[in-house]
Amino acid sequence: MIALPALPSTLEVIEAHALRQPAAPALHEGSLHLDFAGLDRALRNCATELHRLGIRRGHRVAVGGPGFARQLIVVLACEALGAATASFLGEGDPDAPELFALVDWVVAGVPQAVPGSRFVLIDDAFLQPFFTQVPPASRIRTELALHELQRIARTSGSSGKSKFIAISRQAQEGWVAGTLDLSHFVPSSRLLVCGPLVMNAALARSSRCLRAGGLVMVGGGAELPTLAPTDVWGLPLHLERLLDEAPAGYRAPHPVSVTTVGGALRADLRVRIEQAFGALVVNRYGSNEAGSVCYEMDAQGVGWLSPAVEVRILDAEGAEVAPGGYGAIALRTPSMADGYLGQPEEVNQAFRGGWFHSADVGAVVGPRRLHLLGRQDDLINVAGIKLPASRVEEDLRRLALGECTVLAVNGSSASAAAVGVAVVLTPGVTQAEAVRRIAEVLQPVQPASVRVLFVSGLPRLPNGKPDRMALLRLFA
């Protein structure tokens, strides 16, 4: 039997690009501009230094900043050493203490409280020499087996405390390959990443672009004319912020491929993105546990299943529903995680029989066509009326009230549910006017079952999504 060669790491592919096209741009953020020769140099030097400090194959390393590009360099260097990585926000990450308890090393741009773990400060003094010093003639090569742990992702935490997800090397390769649904990166690609590395999809998409010989960029809307991206990726709220910061009347000189993840895309934002970038925007559905599931999601939440993804629709007892029926979505994908770290009961509940049982509700409405209705906890059941919170939010935003989040909260009795609406009012709109407009949108619901909370700003999770648990505490 002929032994198949091991899969190359992203660092090894970058090394090949550095030999073939050393001056081609590879990584840009702020004042940091690296071509492939410079990125290869930085990665090899960083891996050598981390190895000297004691990071080895099989270690778990939490990486927090400084900045996206420098964090990416450290993550890829750890990957080349055979260490599993987890990304966190260097400051203000609510999940940091739980993450630190699961890892062997913490490396970050600012000091961290790290009980029982080893800490490395990766500030500019640590990283800057890697961009200029000559790397060693030979470098450390560590090949992880496909079943070994490579990445620790996390759930969003929108419905409770985050869970940390174990992703094998094979599953992470599935994440990287999953970006091929509609994004065919080439050496001339200029990918603008608008989400943090806390989102595993940000690492996967960046890795895919670099492997293709393209440029990965981080920047704000004011820089759009000079960045001149060919591809843009991020959550809807990231893209909205990007356009808010863009020059007035900005229009890309050439069509730009825009991909959004992590939530429904409002109709008005879709139009705004397409007008600015001159191409159809691709809205994708996936999960941190299963990777890419569906792409080209339309305004009704219907999209195409990604290649090699299998779906079952289940009723409350776990039996498959009739074709076209709605129920809980169970998934089997090339990117499926091995489970949650340190939470065996949660693993047994969510990962059963080779399937990941998601908290999402939907139906298969045609050959490889999935209709995503929303999360089970996103469906607000008020006196028998089921309202998808995301659709209510979209209806409310059309009224120009301001930023808002809709969720289920306790009603007037212990058994009753109410629709909770948290609003950051647009200047000039009074609270009384907002309450009146909200009542019009929620006409099927009795006024006693609607609660409105006015806030100065929506609390957010590390990935930028609204922190629903924090909002529930505010409602309480």
pLDDT tier at 1, thresholds 50, 70, 90: very low
8 A C-beta contact, residue 40 and residue 18: yes
The number of angstroms, rounded, from the C-alpha of 264 to the middle of its chain's C-alpha atoms is 14
Q: Six-digit token pair at 219?
A: 């920047």
DSSP three-state, residue 316: coil
Q: What is the pLDDT of residue 130?
A: 95
Q: Supply the pLDDT for residue 413.
A: 46
DSSP state string for 431-472 = HHHHHHHHHHHTTTS-GGGEEEEE-SS--B-TTSSB-HHHHH
The answer to whether 243 and 273 have CB atoms below 8 angstroms apart is yes
The answer, yes or no, to whether residue 12 has pLDDT greater than 80, is yes
Which residue type does 458 have? L
The answer for residues whose C-beta is within 8 angstroms of residue 392's C-beta and 6 or more apart is: 380, 406, 419, 421, 441, 442
What φ, ψ does residue 167 adopt, rounded to 5°?
A: -115, 120
**pLDDT of res. 415:** 45
Mean pLDDT of 43-51: 95
> What is the rounded CA–CA span in Å between residue 379 and residue 381?
6
> Which residue type does 89 have?
L
CB atoms within 10 A of CB 366: 11
pLDDT at 401 over 80: no
pLDDT of residue 261: 86
- Whether the CB-CB separation of 248 and 259 falls below 8 Å is answered with no
> 234 by DSSP, 3-state: which?
strand
Question: What is the C-alpha separation between 39 and 22, in angstroms, rounded?
Answer: 9
The predicted-structure confidence for 332-344, as pLDDT tens digits, reads as follows 998 999 999 989 9
- The strand pair at 402-410 and 417-425 is best described as antiparallel
Q: Residue 9 — pLDDT band, cuts 50, 70, 90?
A: confident
Share of the chain above pLDDT 90, in %: 52
Number of H helices, E strands in the chain: 14, 27
State pLDDT tens for residues 50-108. Answer: 999 999 999 999 999 889 999 999 999 999 999 999 999 989 888 999 999 999 999 99
Residue 81 pLDDT = 94
* pLDDT at residue 223 in the model: 97
What mean pLDDT is predicted for residues 416-425?
79
Q: Who has greater pLDDT, 169 or 374? A: 169
Q: What pTM was estimated for this model as a whole?
A: 0.82
pLDDT at 278 over 70: yes
- How much is the average pLDDT of 30-49? 96
What pLDDT does residue 385 have?
Answer: 61
Q: What is the pLDDT of residue 183?
A: 57
What is the rounded distance in angstroms from the CA atom of residue 103 to the CA atom of residue 82?
Answer: 14
- At 414, the pLDDT band (50, 70, 90 cuts) reads very low
Chain segment 287-333, per-residue pLDDT in tens: 889 988 988 888 778 899 988 899 999 988 889 999 899 888 999 99
Q: What is the pLDDT of residue 384?
A: 58
Domains and CATH numbers, the chain: 10-219 (3.40.50.12780), 284-376 (2.30.38.10), 383-475 (3.30.300.30)
**Residue from 154, 183, 188, 5 nearest 85 by CA:** 154
